[in-house]
Structure 1
Amino acid sequence: MAVEQRNYVDGEWIESETGETVSVENPASPDEIVARYQQSNAADAHRAIEAASNAAEEWAATPGPERGAILTETSRILADRKAELTELLVREEGKTRGEAGGEVQRAIDIFSYYGAKTHDLGGTVKSASGPQTTLYTVKEPLGVVGLITPWNYPIAIPAWKLAPALATGNVAVLKPASQAPGVAHAIFEALDEAGLPDGVANVVTGPGSSVGEELVTSEGVDAISFTGSTAVGNTVYEQATEDGKRVQLEMGGKNPTIVADSADVDEAADIVAAGAFGVTGQACTACSRAIVHTDVYDEFVEAVVERAAAIEPGPGLEESDMGPHVSKDELESTLEYIDIAQEEGAALETGGSALDRAGYYVEPTVFADVEPSSRLAQEEVFGPVLAVLEVEDFDDALAVANDVDYGLSASIVTDDHTEANRFIDEIEAGVAKVNAKTTGLELHVPFGGMKASSSETWREQGDEGLEFYTIEKTVYDNY
């Protein structure tokens, strides 16, 4: 029997005012209901905002290392539950066990990292122009922050928003995506067990049109951090900035890997396949375009097709190579883009079909002879679909790579040091990688995009992840 989960508000697990729930199914076996979550409304979100506001002053006054101790203990509790949470993530979102375990470990590491960072929080001391004056800065929390997170990294992204927010003395309300909220709930169970004071962090499940909109528009919320689609993110930005909220957006991507004529083709195929088909292509940093020099184009297409065709999709708990899409809607969206690509004249080299079995599976798909102006080469396809484009030289490759609305992650495979450095200098992306896949991030360095992939305001993770949640005050102490 499926478990019914509640909202966590003001230190208590409570039902929503609607009295309604929404079911989350296992995408590998849609007849299996994993859990039911509250179908909350704006009133529920408002209640959580009020609880956070009431807790804000005391939490902000709590010494940083004391806050850090709670985050560190949260990390330990999550680590103790890693196997359980890995299985829950697989059952709700569809990742393979290895992918899910890696994501849970990332959340564990994030809470540990920011727990330790609380010992280093503070401002700077400067030399004053006059005598008997101490001139320095202090950093203060913003207050109540609203956090809106997607389903594709359902524990890592909530962790990398919550942990720095709490470390810097803010209070928070999280709205996780409805498709896979279970592991986000587990974070709050761990925070509660670790001794987090009531009201400091709250989680409310429900639609973006009610819960999300209340967070974005409420006068009681001081800042919004959003990860999701570009279309929704742009609406969030417009609404949130109307009353002066600080806003952080991370959105879509159309991420390229350039394959130079000097590249080892087998290595390039391994890198591109890992970036394109890992996590079923359901990552904002997934490689969706391979931009390949004409001298190695045919060889590369053959190699990457071989790797795609060897991938066996299946249930994540069965140690399959690739899991299902998270939902029927996501599967249908991917299949629609496959149809569009064929209508546009791209050459289907492998894959292209849904699997004839229970679950939301699609074959890893490779298209060759893709035109740079085509929809397949321009629009985000949130699935395991790779477009291979042929270019004449390195300058052409850079031009094609940059000729999209997005700019999140990009990589190049090359043995030419000059090309590598020019790529770093000239690529229009927030993450640039040399001889590496577009996916995969370190937690202690900034993450964010350019152009339509980001608000281009504040970065996440690392020290930059702390900056978004603080405001600086300059102090002139004339003694």
Structure 2
Amino acid sequence: MSKPTTNYVDGEWRGSETGETIEVRNPANPDEVVATYPRSDKRDAAAAVDAAATAEAAWRDTPGPERGRILREAGTILDGRKEELTDILVAEEGKARPEAAGEVQRTIDIFHYFAGKASDLAGTRKASSGRDTNLYTRREPVGVAALVTPWNYPIAIPAWKLAPALVSGNTVVLKPASLAPGVVIEVARALDEAGLPDGVLNVVTGPGSTVGDEFITSEGTDLVSFTGSSEVGEMVYEQATGEGKRVQTEMGGKNPTLVTSSADPAEAADIVASGGFGTTGQSCTACSRAVVHEAVHDEFVAELVKRAESIDVGPGHDHEMGPQVSEAELSSTLDYIDVASNEGATLAAGGGVPDGDAVETGHFVEPTVFTEVEPDMRIAQEEVFGPVVGVIEVSDFEEGIAVANDVEYGLSASVVTDDHGEANRFVDAIDAGVVKVNEKTTGLELHVPFGGFKRSSSETWREQGDAGLRFYTIEKTVYDGY
């Protein structure tokens, strides 16, 4: 397994000014140190910003198809290293291997997709009211992009920010999450090998309070893209907009699946279990609330409990559900389970740490189901970020919609129904940026916009596809009277 130990700044692999390091431990076996990375500070971050600013003009002037060629080559290099990247992701973040492999493949697909978009960034020609004027628009890069990315999708989320930023001509400074930075370092390595010019991408590991803060507030950065908690994201938004920067934030979720009276309870349980327990519930789009019509409630609960109890929990390399990423995340999930019980919810499945030699030392938790959850309980209102689903019983479709919308978040939502009219009403009425019919709340196509409502997003700019390119470009209108 590759164990990179340096930052990537101005085309060089270098240590930090502090000389200090961060240990990344295997969440399935915390005694195992997977790798060490620089514990960088503001000096390292400032050097990265300086390098990106210096490289900006030349990269801006590089033809789009050439930028695309480099991204395509980097994607091909990553494709040849899928097994290695998957190993790093499982060891650092803890994902089950099929989930980790899928995330790596998504990253490759993102690079190839945006490489293909590189030739479509020239703008549009418009009809002029004057006979002797050519009227057209140009799409140009904004400048230096500061990217701050999370640990739960440690390669896919950096990729869907990085690829459109680079292909549209911006230079980049990137701070990966300290819990799982290895795969981002490998992305930088692939881009370097593909011929990316020095300074165009700079990756610095270290705390958000130093590296991230410098990236966000520096006069040398022009736009900021952040994914993480709502509490931190709202501070980032305030900081960056206060500096006059273009800002995109994607944050938390409390995502519902509405199960209507026409739904098949077994199918609905499959959908909720996949959305709620997949990736150990550590996804901003994970289903944490099943809002269920009383006519199918009891049968749905029985089916969901059956699925929760059948999940094989253990180290990600050979089990269905891996550990939580850290002791702190596990502790938070167990605290929420205690809160739910104390508030009067009924524990129907899980609720503790699993038994067995394979899970003896890691940050493991059982897939958990609560019933008799009231909409105002904390378990129904606050993001847990673990494999915990609360079931809320409702008497009709309208009450279900009201309960689904009665939270501060609005990222992803789904409905399970056999009535197309109900599906259409749900799409119209739900307050969420991603809406699914008879599908789980998790899982995204890479070529369509992604973002949320309310506290799930700054509600400014969407990510992915053409929407992602719009964030990283600015339009110039040209009146050519020649």
Distance in 1 (alpha carbons) for counterparts of 2:461 and 2:122 = 19
Distance in 1 (alpha carbons) for counterparts of 2:39 and 2:243 = 27
8 Å Cα contact 1:367-1:386 kept in structure 2: yes
Match in the other structure for 2:473: 470
8 Å Cα contact 1:255-1:438 kept in structure 2: yes
The superposition leaves residues 247-284 of structure 1 with CA deviations (integer Å, 9 ceiling, x where unpaired) of 00000000000000000111000000000000000000
Shift of 1:317: 1.0
Report the more deviating stretch, 243-252 or 123-132: 123-132
Distance in 2 (alpha carbons) for counterparts of 1:96 and 1:230 = 26
Query: Superposition pairs for residues 275-354 of structure 1, below 5 Å?
Result: 275-318=275-318, 320-354=319-353
8 Å Cα contact 2:412-2:452 kept in structure 1: yes
8 Å Cα contact 2:314-2:321 kept in structure 1: yes
The superposition leaves residues 354-406 of structure 1 with CA deviations (integer Å, 9 ceiling, x where unpaired) of 23411000000000000000000000000000000000000000000000000
Query: Superposition pairs for residues 45-444 of structure 1, below 5 Å?
Result: 45-318=45-318, 320-356=319-355, 357-444=360-447
Shift of 1:4: 5.2
CA RMSD of aligned residues (A): 0.9
Distance in 1 (alpha carbons) for counterparts of 2:2 and 2:430 = 47
Match in the other structure for 1:452: 455
Distance in 1 (alpha carbons) for counterparts of 2:317 and 2:417 = 36
Distance in 2 (alpha carbons) for counterparts of 1:38 and 1:338 = 35
8 Å Cα contact 2:127-2:135 kept in structure 1: yes
8 Å Cα contact 2:280-2:386 kept in structure 1: yes
8 Å Cα contact 2:2-2:84 kept in structure 1: no
**Share of identical aligned residues, percent?**
67
Distance in 2 (alpha carbons) for counterparts of 1:255 and 1:444 = 22
Distance in 2 (alpha carbons) for counterparts of 1:144 and 1:4 = 25
Shift of 1:127: 1.0
Distance in 2 (alpha carbons) for counterparts of 1:19 and 1:280 = 35
Shift of 1:2: 9.2
Shift of 1:243: 1.6
CA 1:11 to 1:2, structure 2 compared with 1: closer, same or farther past 3 Å?
Answer: closer
The superposition leaves residues 275-296 of structure 1 with CA deviations (integer Å, 9 ceiling, x where unpaired) of 0000000000000000000000
Shift of 1:207: 0.4
The superposition leaves residues 429-456 of structure 1 with CA deviations (integer Å, 9 ceiling, x where unpaired) of 0000000000000001110001000000
Distance in 1 (alpha carbons) for counterparts of 2:46 and 2:425 = 50
Report the more deviating stretch, 354-363 or 249-258: 354-363
Distance in 2 (alpha carbons) for counterparts of 1:324 and 1:25 = 12
Distance in 1 (alpha carbons) for counterparts of 2:200 and 2:142 = 13
Distance in 1 (alpha carbons) for counterparts of 2:332 and 2:291 = 24
Distance in 2 (alpha carbons) for counterparts of 1:431 and 1:317 = 30
Shift of 1:3: 3.7
CA 1:164 to 1:2, structure 2 compared with 1: closer, same or farther past 3 Å?
Answer: closer
Distance in 2 (alpha carbons) for counterparts of 1:200 and 1:89 = 25
8 Å Cα contact 2:291-2:394 kept in structure 1: yes
In structure 1, the gaps of 5 or more residues are none
Query: Where do 4+ consecutive residues of structure 1 move more than 2 Å?
Result: 1-4
8 Å Cα contact 2:404-2:430 kept in structure 1: yes
Secondary structure at 2:317's aligned position in 1?
Answer: helix
CA 1:4 to 1:470, structure 2 compared with 1: closer, same or farther past 3 Å?
Answer: closer
Distance in 2 (alpha carbons) for counterparts of 1:478 and 1:3 = 58
Give the aligned residue type for 2:148: I
Distance in 2 (alpha carbons) for counterparts of 1:259 and 1:186 = 42
Give the aligned residue type for 2:103: E
Distance in 2 (alpha carbons) for counterparts of 1:46 and 1:201 = 14
In structure 2, the gaps of 5 or more residues are none
8 Å Cα contact 2:405-2:431 kept in structure 1: yes
Distance in 2 (alpha carbons) for counterparts of 1:362 and 1:161 = 31
Give the aligned residue type for 1:135: L
The superposition leaves residues 12-66 of structure 1 with CA deviations (integer Å, 9 ceiling, x where unpaired) of 0000000000100000011110000000001100000000000000000000000
Distance in 2 (alpha carbons) for counterparts of 1:244 and 1:270 = 46
Give the aligned residue type for 1:9: V
CA 1:418 to 1:4, structure 2 compared with 1: closer, same or farther past 3 Å?
Answer: closer
Distance in 1 (alpha carbons) for counterparts of 2:223 and 2:402 = 36
* Normalised TM-score (structure 2): 0.98
Give the aligned residue type for 1:171: T
8 Å Cα contact 1:2-1:36 kept in structure 2: no
Shift of 1:331: 0.1
Aligned length: 478
Distance in 1 (alpha carbons) for counterparts of 2:453 and 2:43 = 35
Distance in 2 (alpha carbons) for counterparts of 1:60 and 1:157 = 24
Distance in 1 (alpha carbons) for counterparts of 2:4 and 2:130 = 64
Distance in 1 (alpha carbons) for counterparts of 2:424 and 2:189 = 46
Give the aligned residue type for 2:63: P
CA 1:444 to 1:85, structure 2 compared with 1: closer, same or farther past 3 Å?
Answer: same
Distance in 2 (alpha carbons) for counterparts of 1:218 and 1:88 = 32
